[in-house]
Structure 1
Amino acid sequence: MPCYSINGLRPVVDPTAYVHPTAVLIGDVVIGPGCYVGPLASLRGDFGRILLEQGANIQDTCVMHGFPDSDTVIARNGHVGHGAVLHGCRIGENVLVGMNAVVMDGAVIAANSFVSAAAFVKAGFSCEAQSLVMGAPAVTRRRLSDEEVAWKLAGTREYQQLAQRCLEQMVECQPLSEVESNRPRLQPGAYRPKDDSL
């Protein structure tokens, strides 16, 4: 992966985390155990600190950045969908941020909440735990059910297994020129990681 130090600060990646080789890490970035960082994600710790806590994932083409002296945090089991932008905000424990959402400086998304796809969360926004946050500008629409929160955590567990599957099985290769007969299908639900402590 492209990884750069700046002003003497080097990114830190736990050995149980998976960072795709096309993701970019710059400066004050800390990626905790069991995290997944997808292709083309950009985590720029060149002003403020970028922190992914245990089991968090940030998917393809996401951007994390912040102003000087700020922390941009995805707490434990946070789940950030494709194309989202997080800038100087805190994504709480077990939060889902939908695809192409933007969460701005000083915003705090409380634990077990969902930010809908394409939402725009203004600077300084906050919500109560287990909130559904939607719109542009985003507002709290309702309280999530326990079933919705459990559904989200199950999806996050799939990404935690994906991180281990990528560490164990993903290798760069050349494409085939044609589809082989009886091509198998991926069975990610059948995967059992070597380390199931997460």
Structure 2
Amino acid sequence: MAREGGSQLRGGQLRKHILLAAKNVFLETGFERASMDAVAASAGTSKRSLYAHFESKDKLFLAVLDLVRELYLGKLRTPDVYADDPVEAVTLFCGRFQQLLTWEPQAQTCRLCISAAERLPDSAKAYYDAMFAVMYTRLAEYLAAQYEMDRRKAAALAEDLVGRTVLPRVFRVLLKVEPAIEETPGTAAVENVELEPIRLVVSAALGSRE
């Protein structure tokens, strides 16, 4: 039945269907053990159709990362949508970033990219650009606009804030020192994150700039 469902899709719909199936296969088995046969079976489509869209496992993996990026950025958004007050906006934005990166499927994806980094350095860079570089840019642009800061200073401040408010918990989750978030993040609320410690750091860093 899955094969019938997959074969009924065409063009962009089939491509996205394959990518979602491939994402699950990569997460379940790891990059090295994942096979195009397994992806085709999971997607309910033929290997011929799979190779018509993706000529190799490497390119399929990179396309999966593009899909993850699209889904992730749609949930992250930009600081200005979270609150009118800059301190609260940055607090919630950093909280959202932490929430997304410590969500179990995202933590698994990060571990997967780390494990594949030597074989596919481009995939590791693509993941970093999607998950971190875009976040730093959005935060830095917001800080520069709100506080009329030089872009380089805003970028340095953004990295400092994320380093103190987000990354410690992310590393603990990646190393399984702390449990990951099981619930799928909603479209707006920042949940399963301790916001008060983040707020204290952000207030101390930005309060003097008011």
Smaller-chain TM-score bracket:
under 0.3
Taking structure 2 as the reference length, the TM-score comes to: 0.25
Which has more helix, going by share of residues? Answer: 2
Which has more strand, going by share of residues? Answer: 1
Find the structure with the greater CA-based Rg.
2
